Amino acid sequence: MSLSKEHLSPGDHIYVKRRLYSHHGIYTGDGRVIHYTGEEKEKKDPSVTETDIDDFLKGGKLKKRDYKTRLALSETVSLAKEHLSDKGYSLTLNNCEHFATYCSTGMKKSSQVRTAAAGFLGVTLAVAGTVIGIRRKKREWM
């Protein structure tokens, strides 16, 4: 669900869908967001930075992640601010979604990484099953 900036509270985990992924951050109030960003479309030397929400959205639709259980919004903002200038970005272990989820819940998680890993595992198992099937048929022909 897309929403307007006026419906945000400091500490909200927000995100915007890009073409192949979603970009996540923590809204800190006054139109500002803390998130991983870097040069050249966020791929070169990313660090945790506070930017204007319009820079974060880059024309995309604003979305908010809701949690059943989460840290207090004020604690989320404090955690995000503690990590300003942090580096150590990793697509699979420490991406923008890991960061925003950690600030919101205290646990690093990325549904994008889990989904990609499950898809990779599914393809791997399908290929392995095909290879095993081919080998069995080859033995039967001999």
Q: pLDDT (tens digit, 9 = 90+) per residue, 22-36?
A: 999 999 999 999 999
Q: Is the pLDDT of residue 111 over 60?
A: yes
Give the pLDDT confidence of 123-133 residue by residue, as tens digits: 444 545 554 55
**Residues in contact with 22: Cβ distance below 8 Å, sequence separation at least 6, in sequence order:** 15, 16, 63, 97, 112
- With beta carbons less than 8 A apart as the criterion, state whether 25 and 18 touch: no
User: CA-CA distance, 41 to 122, in Å (whole number)?
Assistant: 30
Q: Is the pLDDT of residue 84 over 70?
A: yes
